[in-house]
Amino acid sequence: MSEKINSRFVEMSHLVKEYPNPYGDDFRVIEDFNLMMKEGEFVSVIGHSGCGKSTVLTMLAGLNEISDGGIIVNGREIDGPGPDRSVVFQAPCLMPWMTAYGNVMLGVKNVYPHVNKATRKQIVEHSLSVCGLADSMKKYPREMSGGMQQRVGIARAIALQPKVLLLDEPFGRLDSLTRMELQDVIIDILDKEKLTAMIVTHDVDEAVFMADRCVMMSNGPKAGVGEILEIDFPRPRNRMEVFEDPKFFECREHLLAFLEQRSHIKGPTRIYSGGETQGFMNESELEAFELKTGGLTI
């Protein structure tokens, strides 16, 4: 790639999400969430349920209002949803009255209003076949299995040709075999299209296997980024190789240890790679933290 990679392609800074509470102070779900994503990077977000993982993702998607702080994507602050960021939801959310083709076309028509019909058709058919649905374009959602429906959801998201792909627990409702198939589909797509992506997940294996970096969120309320783990398996990734790699288990253990023991700690974000602490994400914050606690103990 000749172009210089933009290391601040997605920039979330001091993100806050508050919900109004009529009987007291506003309820802060997210406080001071900071994260930077490089162009083409795949970040997984993991954390206990209810910590606000999906809230972060929906804020990035523009579906959820940002209470404070800001998100910059490709040099522009976001304001509502846009075709540069598409979302794969947990439920496939297909329109039951449309075929797979129709569901994908729905978005394509609106995002490319000036493109001629043949090109649109090509885009739709291409994205469906990338997701392995070349033979099922004319099927209605009710005629498809959950996995196939989710494939349509993915096809719909990538057909918009977004810059950022947001996956909100996309495999949460699928059985493990289908889940693995779809993980491979996503990884293939991302490798080919060089998309920047974020996946919110509960599944530790998935978080490690799929992503370049895993963001572990501390517990809510006032959740933030607890730790960040760099995962450096080579791409394209092979499932068998990755799963047999001892590093995979180290990463897995790390995530589990965080979730079980350290997720309640609020403080500066610690960055790990290869099992060692690489540093803190924000130096000024670290200083403040050290001043307050008199040293960092984990």
State the minimum distance, in angstroms, from the CB of residue 5 to another protein: 26
Q: Is 42 helix (H, G, I), strand (E, B) or coil?
A: strand
Query: Measured from the CB atom, is 75 or 96 closer to another protein?
Result: 96
Query: Measured from the CB atom, is 167 or 255 closer to another protein?
Result: 167
Residue pair 154/86 in contact (Cβ under 8 Å)? The answer is no
Length of the chain: 298
Query: Measured from the CB atom, is 69 or 102 closer to another protein?
Result: 102
The token duo for 277 is 């602490």
- CA gap 285, 98 in Å, rounded: 51
Residue pair 270/213 in contact (Cβ under 8 Å)? The answer is no
State the minimum distance, in angstroms, from the CB of residue 142 to another protein: 6
Residues that bind another protein (CB under 8 A): 61-63, 80-83, 85-87, 89, 91, 93, 95-97, 99, 106-107, 109-111, 140, 142, 156-157, 160
Residue 259 Cα distances to 2, 75, 93, 181, 217, angstroms: 39, 33, 30, 26, 9
Query: Measured from the CB atom, is 31 or 168 closer to another protein?
Result: 168
State the minimum distance, in angstroms, from the CB of residue 30 to another protein: 19
State the minimum distance, in angstroms, from the CB of residue 2 to another protein: 31
State the minimum distance, in angstroms, from the CB of residue 168 to another protein: 10
Residue pair 134/100 in contact (Cβ under 8 Å)? The answer is no
Q: Which residue from 85, 86, 87 is spatially nearest to 9, judged by alpha carbons?
A: 85
Query: Measured from the CB atom, is 140 or 248 closer to another protein?
Result: 140
